Amino acid sequence: MPEIISEDEIPKVVASAQSTLDQEAIRSRQGPSCPDPASSSHPLEKIGLATLKSKFPFLAEYTDSFIMEAGAHNLIKAEKAARQLRDMDRNSKAEDKLFSNRETLDSIMYPVEAGQDNRINNLHAARCLPGAVCSAGKLWLHARAILGNKGHPPLSSYDLQSIGLGGSVSAKGWVELHDPSSSSLSIKMFSMNSTSFTSKGGRDPMYQDMEDLTEFKSALRVIRGAMAFVHPWNHSINALERVFWFRATFALRTWLALKSRSTPW
C-alpha cells in the first residue's frame, strides 16, 4: 500500500523525482548499465498517484504514465494553466450574469403593495427593494421631488452602534441632517470634540473647531454613515469624501510642513 505523506512533504518528493529523472536521462545518453535494484521504483510511486491526485485535483485529467514521466516543472505549469482557466471561466460566467440581469431590467417591474411603516417595529416591504442603478443625480432629484424641502421628522435612534459610530453625532447634527434644505449643516456637528463638549454642557457644537486633520477625517466618516441611515438616496457625502481622500495625502503633508515651522502662529 503506498505510503501517505503530508502535504508539506509533497514538493520535496516531487523535486526528488525530478532529480532522479534528470539523472536517468544522463545515464541513458551514456549507454546501458546494470540496473540498480534500489532505484527500480519511481519516486512518485512512493507517495502513490492516488494520494497525489487527491492533493492536486487537476491531475485527474491526465494519465498515470503522463504524471510519472512529467517533471516537477511541467506539473507546476499544468497547475497554473488549470487555475487560470478556472478563473477565466468564473469571471466569464459572472460577467454574463450581470449583463443578462441588466438587459432584463426594463421588462421587470417589482410590485410595491400599499401598507404602513412606522420606522421601528412595523417596517414596510418596500424598504427591502433592490437598489436603484440609475444615476445618483436622477435618484436625488426623484427623492427631492417626493420629499420636498421639509424631509422627515428628525430622530437620533438610528443604530450607528452597529457600524462603530455610536454617540458620534450631536443632537443639532441629527436635526440638520434630516432637513434636505438645511443651510446650517456643518461637519463640525459630527466631530467627537463637539459631541463630547456638548454632552458636558458646553457651547453649541457649531462653534467647535477641528483640532487636527485626523478629527476631520473621523467626522467625515461619521456624517457619511449617518447620511446612509437618514437619506439612503443621498450620495453627496460619498462624493465629497472621495474628493477629500484623493487630496488627503497632499493636504496632510502640507499641514505637517506648516506645523513644523518655527514661526509661531
Question: Which tens digits make up the pLDDT trace of 199-240?
Answer: 555 455 444 677 777 888 888 999 999 999 999 999 999 888
Task: Give me the residue label for grid cell 507517495.
Answer: 47
Mean of pLDDT values over 79-98: 80
Residue 73 lies in a domain: yes
Residues 95, 152, single domain; the answer is: no
Q: Which domain holds residue 60?
A: 7-100
The string of DSSP letters for 213-250 reads HHHHHHHHHHHHHHHHHH-TT--HHHHHHHHHHHHHHH
Backbone angles phi, psi at 17, to 5 degrees: -65, -40
pLDDT tens sequence across 183-202: 888 888 888 776 665 555 54
pLDDT at residue 3 above 70?
no
Residues 143, 229, single domain; the answer is: yes
Domain boundary among 76, 100, 124: 100
What do you get for the CA distance between the two ends of the chain, in Å? Answer: 83
> Is the separation of the CB atoms in 167 and 173 below 8 Å?
no
Q: What span, in angstroms and rounded, lies between the C-alpha atoms of 105 and 193?
A: 47
Which residues make Cβ contacts (< 8 Å) with residue 21, sequence separation at least 6? 69, 71
Instruction: Give the pLDDT score at 215.
Output: 85
pLDDT at residue 40 above 50?
no
Provide the pLDDT confidence category of residue 265 given band limits of 50, 70 and 90: very low
Residues 153, 94, single domain; the answer is: no
Domain boundary among 79, 100, 121: 100
Residue 128 lies in a domain: no
